[in-house]
């Protein structure tokens, strides 16, 4: 299997969900499958704009950003739906959990697409086998289609994923660039917007091949450092690593655990949730961030998995707050059947200085009790420096970790361990 992976270099996947919002709606309501549907901000307004649409709608000429009246004229039977962002957020979390199963290096770039570095994932098969497994798993687990590009770098992987939609898998090697990329119009190149394409065309650069062969000084003088970068991309050159921390707004901290036995007793499940809340809280504190959203994953005895999330009106970090939010979400969506796996994820993280807590009566009363403690902490910081208390909190977290408190693991590690057990 190692022979299918480069000795020097990387194997990058770009996973791009197909018609994401519309696909999520069809997964949620199967009666919509096969029908032309569109997501629009305000269906009642003739001036509304199409946010996205299904492939069935696209066959009639309906496109993203098209005015609603024009879309209905092209497709009178078009079904218009309002966007449900909580539903899309939950589906996105589920999708990225699948990706994290196969690599620790996953970089979200938007709610419906991300890069993966699978160079060290050869235990799951060849690159195309890994891509196929991921595509099938997302389809089976979430009922959502995706296209995947396989390449030695991020740019080529992104270009490859656009070549076959829906449900395509495309390999794009550097040696394929002259034959597959260079004939394409420069405006179809990832990273080239309308204004940039107009500038390039004014320099008689009409194709990606023209850009690849263009004079570097001329490109740089017109587009600056971005021009030189685009020329490199046109030649298949891109050294950017897959960075899980690159997209701050999509960072999340989560923990899950496969239960020692299938559980259906509420009290036992609450105890597991509390252990998970402790682990998530510890990691949030260690990274000095707060969560403004919570996601709960439930896998049942029959392996059916659901992920549900909610936005919170304030930033949270404590075990109690995380547990309360997760417990409420769990009880709202738990079917009562035996549970095989539980997970909690803190989402939409914010830095310590950005966290603003909205104090209701309960929080005000609790915080008032802690005010003398806060004053003492502030005095210590003034005397010994801002990091004095943070260092103590981090040390406590490390000590607890060494003591192996709780049975949960991170989402990434848990997924990998479970897959290995299933393969044995």
Do residues 405 and 278 make contact, with C-beta atoms less than 8 angstroms apart?
A: yes
Quick one: which H or E segment has residue 309?
Answer: strand 305-316
Quick one: which H or E segment has residue 79?
Answer: strand 79-81
Query: Is 113 considered catalytic here?
Result: yes
16 is in an annotated binding site: yes
Closest by CA to 75, choosing from 101, 50, 100, is 50
C-alpha 172/C-alpha 174 separation (Å) is: 7
162 is in an annotated binding site: no
C-alpha 344/C-alpha 156 separation (Å) is: 34
Q: How remote is the C-alpha of 6 from its chain's centroid?
A: 27
The helix, strand and coil proportions of the chain, stated in percent and rounded to the nearest 5, come to: 50, 20, 30
Do residues 161 and 15 make contact, with C-beta atoms less than 8 angstroms apart?
A: yes
C-alpha 287/C-alpha 277 separation (Å) is: 15
- Provide the 10 A C-beta neighbour count for residue 198: 10
Residue with tokens 């559980």: 263
Beta bridge partners, 16, equal 113, 147
C-alpha 341/C-alpha 257 separation (Å) is: 6
The residue from 113, 188, 248, 321 that is catalytic is 113
Residues serving a catalytic function are 113
Which residue ranges are tagged as binding site for Mg(2+)? 16, 112
Which residue ranges are tagged as binding site? 16, 112
């Amino acid at each position: 299997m190692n022979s299918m992976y480069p000795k020097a270099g990387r194997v990058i996947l770009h996973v791009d969900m197909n018609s994401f919002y519309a696909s999520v709606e069809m997964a949620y309501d199967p009666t919509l499958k096969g029908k032309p549907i569109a997501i629009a901000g305000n269906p009642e307004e003739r001036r509304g704009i199409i946010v996205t649409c299904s492939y069935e709608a696209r066959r009639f000429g309906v496109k993203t950003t098209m005015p609603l009246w024009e879309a209905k004229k092209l497709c009178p039977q078009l079904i218009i739906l309002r966007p449900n962002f909580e539903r899309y957020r939950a589906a996105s979390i589920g999708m990225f959990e699948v990706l994290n199963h196969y690599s620790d290096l996953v970089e979200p770039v938007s709610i419906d697409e991300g890069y993966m570095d699978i160079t060290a994932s050869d235990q799951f098969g060849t690159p195309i086998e890994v891509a196929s497994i991921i595509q099938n798993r997302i389809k089976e687990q979430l009922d959502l289609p995706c296209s995947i590009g396989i390449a030695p770098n991020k740019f080529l992987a992104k270009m490859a994923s656009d070549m076959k939609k829906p449900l395509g898998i495309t390999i794009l090697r550097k040696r394929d660039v002259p034959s597959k990329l260079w004939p394409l119009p420069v405006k179809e190149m990832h990273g080239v917007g309308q204004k940039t394409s107009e500038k390039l065309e004014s320099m008689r650069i009409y194709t990606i091949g023209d850009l690849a062969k263009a004079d570097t000084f001329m490109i740089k003088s017109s587009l600056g450092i971005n021009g030189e970068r685009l020329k490199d991309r046109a030649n298949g050159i891109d050294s950017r690593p897959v960075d899980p921390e690159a997209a701050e707004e999509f960072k999340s901290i989560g923990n899950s655990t496969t239960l020692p036995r299938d559980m259906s007793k509420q009290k036992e499940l609450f105890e597991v949730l509390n252990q998970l809340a402790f682990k998530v809280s510890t990691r949030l504190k260690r990274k000095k961030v707060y969560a403004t959203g919570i996601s709960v994953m439930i896998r049942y005895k029959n392996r059916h998995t659901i992920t549900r999330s909610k936005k919170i009106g304030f930033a949270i970090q404590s075990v109690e707050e995380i547990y309360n939010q997760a417990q409420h979400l769990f009880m709202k969506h738990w079917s009562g059947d035996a549970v095989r796996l539980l997970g909690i994820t803190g989402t939409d993280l914010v830095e310590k200085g950005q966290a603003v807590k909205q104090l209701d009566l309960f929080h005000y009363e609790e915080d008032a009790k802690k005010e003398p403690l806060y004053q003492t902490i502030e005095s210590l910081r003034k005397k010994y420096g801002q990091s004095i208390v943070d260092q103590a909190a981090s040390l406590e977290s490390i000590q607890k970790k060494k003591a192996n408190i709780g049975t949960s693991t991170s989402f990434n590690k848990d997924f990998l361990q479970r897959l290995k057990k299933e393969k044995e």
